[in-house]
Amino acid sequence: MRLPHGEVKTPVYMPVGTKGAMKGVTYQEMDDLGCKLLLANTYHLAYKPGGDLLEKVGGLHNFVNWKNNILTDSGGFQMVSMSQLSEVTEEGVTFESPYDRSKMHLRPEDSIHTQNQIGADIIMALDDVVKTATAGLRMQEASERTTRWLDRDIAAHKRKHDQNLFPIVQGGVDSKLREQSLNDLIQREANGYAIGGLAGGEDKADFWKTVVQCTTKLPKNKPRYLMGVGYPVDIVVCSCLGVDMFDCVFSTRTARFGTAFTEHGFLKLKNNEIANVFEPIQKGCQCQACKNYTQSYLHYLIAKEEVACHLISIHNLNYLIQLMLNLHQSIIDGKLTGFVNGFLKNWYQREGKIPQWVIEALEYARLPIEQL
Amino acid sequence: MKKSPLFIYTTRMGSYYHLTPFNQQTLNLDTCLLSAGDFLHMENTLKLLQSETNISFRQYINQENKILYMTSIDSYKMKCVEGSSNKDGVKIAQLEGIKPMTNQQYIELAKTINPEMLVSLTEKLEIQAGQKSTKRSSAKSAKFLKESLDQLKDTQISIYGAIQGGLDTVSKIIAAEEQKFAIDYPNFKGFTLFGFNQGSTWQEKEDALSVVQSVFDGYNVQYILAGYGDILSILWGLSWGIEGFEIEEPFRFAQDLKVLLPPKFDAKDSELEQFSDDKINFYELEGKKINYLNFPINSDVKENVPLNPECQCFSCQNHTKLYISHLVECKEMNAQVLLTIHNTYQYQKLQQKLQEMQNKKQLNQWIRWYLQFL
């Protein structure tokens, strides 16, 4: 992808810096990891420091001193997940601010206006967000309303020359609603498309089939962004199914609880058996944590000093960034099958078995998978 | 001691407050205070590290090429060492709570850590401790010092005694006299002075220091000041011949969301000439305060400037007051990261200036010049 603040190799994992900061990790460290695109959250930034102030200082890039690309989401998901939701009408969403309990009203025009002020390279259309498991009329209503709001988002968008507006495909796991949403969105030409409404606890079979339905239909020459997905297995599989962009807070959130990503799965550094493991989290990893410390030291440090959490966050971010870069390279080199098989073999080594949904999904993608 | 003044930065288990190796790069931190209580629960792990790996302790904590200073009392823990009726040890704060530790355990830990500088084990007296308790503690500290000197004589570790006794001059003299024997030991280097708390007057501090120094007058003894390492104490202490300072202040300030904004350090020779070269007197420090900024501040566009436009630290070169204030308001820990970097940088600049002034034999003149702005 060529974006206003530089080129981004895909598939790409986008770290989440919700309020204009990655917890414990400076933007300079993010740059050092090779991160070219990260997320910020309109919902939170609209409250603090506010869209007007960000506009005055020249946008979020200037405010946080980040020279690479930024994607902002619309705030729709946070409204549903964080606020006392009062009402969704055709006009917009009325909700109670979790900061000061004041009543707030967000229309598509407001979300786009704030995102214009923030100045991200990719911005998201405001969507009518419902839980993935929602079925029936409410899901249909949300899906159809998202399309109508998209038209308002497009009309309100004042920076078409340097900010790419991505619509969000909805419909939950209902294939008919998804199809309708896809048809509607593709008619409104965009520079990229997001797949929303998944990663909400749905059955994995429904998950991957819905992803396929979307990636099959969406334009091949436009990036596809699967929102809220960031488990290593999920992003490898979905990359093979045609997804280009991913985001998830899991990598840093779990790091703050002492869990690190490794090629063999999750490593809980707080466990007692780690106390005497004098190896890095992941051999060969070039992150600060692995180059300078052992699992043993981090195990003890977690209890004493927050820098341990910073280090594990850096490791997890590096793991995902490198995973995607390696996957990208394997595609270039024509070695994707070998790469994916190697990844799965390591990841599921302890369990001894690759889950059926993974095999089925990759079979669909015509990647022959060797069972363990 | 390698250079004076020596700033000994506190750590938690060898890691600086909020500083990853990447963020340390611009700071050139070359010292590391290690608190015994941080390692006592790791006895088994450290034994395995030694016996079953090629990883040195310094590599383990990622502090190679640093001056390691090991002590039992750490200013960031409120009550890390307590007295004990056991004459062979004290009670020390560990991960699992306050537990007994013998001097023998302390010495064995020192052998494992192998620091350049070791403060011998000591008891921290209760504030209202009576004379009997004070004498008993002094005797214990002296005993611990002798045992350290004897058992570590074949190592490269420089041993420092611990002078307790608060600011009571009698207690201080007792403590100093009890440990005077150490002068005859080749691995003895000096004393770490405890009890010079911020709440006391400068006159009390001056009196307490004077009596200790009078006991060792004529001997080549180094002094290290334990505590937070606030700037005024450093200026005063250096003027009075203290060469090393435990430093916690830049981290404490950052934790409290405060930015150190000391005055400029550079003075012309002509500006210094008017000042006396004598030691700083206590009354010259009274009423003096270091300037700092409290976060958060008003979210005004005019605050979209560095903390200090002339500061070359990473935080001032890359971020603004407005952004840091935003981080504080959002309770994002990156605020503490950036403030730690700035505050520590200020200390390093101060250290460089003090070294320069010592070399030029203009130290006290410079301190007097500097105190004008506080």
pLDDT over threshold 70, residue B272: yes
Q: In this complex, which of A24, A63, A275 lies closest to B337 when CB atoms are compared? A: A24
Chain A interface, mutation test: which of B300, B303, B321, B323, most A Cβ atoms within 10 Å? B323
Annotated ligand binding at A285? The verdict is yes
Residue A346: how many other CB atoms lie within 10 Å: 13
Nearest chain B Cα distance for residue A95, angstroms: 20
Range with the lowest mean pLDDT among A26-40, B138-152, B299-313?
B299-313
Characterize the bridge pairing of strands B89-94 and B97-102. antiparallel
Q: How confident is the model at residue A85 (pLDDT cuts 50, 70, 90)?
A: low
Please report the sign of the dihedral spanned by the C-alpha atoms of residue A294, residue A299, residue A305, residue A307.
Answer: positive
Q: Give residues with Cβ within 8 angstroms of B139, minimum separation 6.
A: B178
Which structure tokens are listed for A291?
């180059």
pLDDT for B302 beyond 70: yes
- Decide if pLDDT at A133 tops 70: no
**Across the interface, do B13 and A301 touch by the CB < 8 Å criterion?**
yes
Q: Which of A84-88, B224-228, B314-318 has the lowest mean pLDDT?
A: A84-88
Q: Environment class of residue A194 by beta-carbon count within 10 Å: exposed (0-12), middle (13-18) or buried (19+)?
A: buried
Q: What are the domain boundaries of chain A?
A: 2-247, 254-365
| For residues A41-58, average pLDDT | 92
Which pLDDT band, with edges at 50, 70 and 90, does B42 fall under? very high
Q: Is B55 on the interface with A (CB under 8 A)?
A: yes
Q: Please compute the mean of the pLDDT values over residues B327-353 and round it to a whole number.
A: 96
Cis ω on the peptide bond leading into residue B296 (within 30° of 0)?
yes
pLDDT at A39: 96
Each residue's pLDDT tens digit, B258-269: 999 988 889 988
Which tens digits make up the pLDDT trace of B73-86?
Answer: 877 665 667 777 77
Residue A83 has pLDDT above 60, yes or no: no
Q: Is B80 on the interface with A (CB under 8 A)?
A: no
pLDDT at A76 (0 to 100): 75
**Closest partner CB to B318 (pick from A28, A53, A307):** A28
A100 or B59: which leads in pLDDT = B59
B302 touches chain A (CB under 8 A): no
Alpha-carbon gap: A253 to the closest alpha carbon of chain B (Å): 13
Mean pLDDT, chain B, integer: 91
pLDDT for the residue numbered B130 = 74
Higher pLDDT among residues A189 and B347, named by residue: B347
Partner residue opposite B45 with nearest CB, options A23, A296, A303? A296
* B40/B48 Cα distance (integer angstroms): 14
Count of all residues that appear for chain A in the document: 372
To the nearest whole Å, the CA of A205 is away from the closest chain B CA by: 38
Question: Looking at residue A59, what DSSP letter applies?
Answer: -
Q: Is the CATH number of domain A2-247 3.20.20.105?
A: yes
pLDDT at B128 exceeding the cut of 90: no
- Each residue's pLDDT tens digit, B198-207: 668 999 999 9
Q: Do A48 and B330 touch (CB under 8 A)?
A: yes
pLDDT at B1: 65
Cβ of A19 within 8 Å of Cβ of B332? The answer is: yes
**Is ipTM beyond 0.85?**
yes
**Min CA distance, B369 vs chain A (Å)?**
37
β-pairing, A12-14 with A37-41?
A: unpaired
Helix ranges (DSSP H) in A307-366: 307-332, 336-347, 356-364
Contact across the interface for A21 and B334, Cβ inside 8 Å: yes
At residue A84, the pLDDT reads 59
Cα–chain center distance at B67: 13
Residue A128 pLDDT exceeds 90: no
Does this model's pTM top 0.80? My answer is yes
pLDDT-based confidence at residue B98 (cuts at 50, 70, 90):
confident
Distances (CA, A) of A175 to A125, A212, A213, A234, B43: 21, 11, 8, 20, 60
The pLDDT value recorded for residue A37 is 97
pLDDT at B80: 67
Read off the pLDDT of residues A271-310 as tens digits, 9 standing for 90 and up: 999 999 999 999 999 999 999 999 999 999 998 889 999 9
| Alpha carbons B231 and B247: distance in angstroms, whole number | 10
- Residues facing residue A12 across a β-bridge: A245
Q: Once rounded to an integer, what is the mean pLDDT over residues A3-9? A: 97
Task: Name A101's Cβ contacts closer than 8 Å, sequence gap at least 6.
Answer: none
Report chain B residues whose CB lies below 8 A from the CB of A43: none
Residue of A nearest to B255 (CA): A306
Q: Which pLDDT band, with edges at 50, 70 and 90, does B112 fall under? A: very high
Q: Establish if B337 touches chain A: CB-CB under 8 angstroms.
A: yes
Residue B283 is classified by DSSP as: G
Select from A83, A120, A111 the least CA-distant residue to A247. Answer: A120
Under 8 Å between Cβ of B63 and B14: yes
Tell me, yes or no, if B305 comes closer than 8 A to chain A by beta carbon.
no
Contacts of A65 in chain B (CB under 8 A): 318-319, 323
Picking from A115, A126, A133, the residue whose alpha carbon sits closest to that of residue A88 is: A126
B20 pLDDT above the threshold of 60: yes
A5 is in an annotated binding site: no
User: Which residues of A participate in catalysis according to the annotation?
Assistant: 73, 247
Q: Check A28 against B22: CB less than 8 A apart.
A: yes
For range A67-74, the mean pLDDT: 96
pLDDT tens digits along B361-374: 999 999 999 999 99
pLDDT class for A98, splitting at 50, 70, 90? low
What is the pLDDT averaged over residues A17-32? 93
Per-residue pLDDT at B77? 62
What sign has the CA pseudo-torsion A180, A183, A188, A189?
Answer: positive
Q: Least CB-CB distance to A63: which of B23, B38, B323?
A: B323
At B165, the pLDDT band (50, 70, 90 cuts) reads confident
Percent of chain B whose pLDDT exceeds 70: 96
At residue B34 the predicted structure's pLDDT band, cuts being 50, 70 and 90, is: very high
**Better-predicted residue by pLDDT, B240 or B28:** B240
B12 neighbourhood in chain A, CB within 8 Å: 301, 304-305
**What's the mean pLDDT in A90-107?**
80
Domain covering B6-258 assigned CATH 3.20.20.105 in the classification: yes
Q: Locate A84 and state its tokens.
A: 């006392």
- Residues of chain B found within 8 Å of residue A56, distances taken between Cβ atoms: 301
A296 and B21: CB-CB below 8 Å?
Answer: no
A17 marked among binding-site residues:
no
- Write the DSSP string, B70-113: EES--TTSTT-EE--S-TTEEEEEETTEEEEEEHHHHHHHHHHH
- Mean pLDDT value across chain A: 92
Residue B260 contacts residue B342 (beta carbons within 8 Å)? yes
* The one-letter amino acid at B236: W
- Residue of A276, A278, A288 with shortest CB distance to B21: A288
Percent of chain B with pLDDT over 90: 75
Angle between helices B231-239 and B202-215 (to 10 degrees): 40
Burial B173-207 (b: 16+ CB within 10 A, else e): bbbbebbeebeebebbbbbbbbbbeeeeebebbbb
Each domain of chain B, given as residue ranges in start order, spans 6-258, 259-371
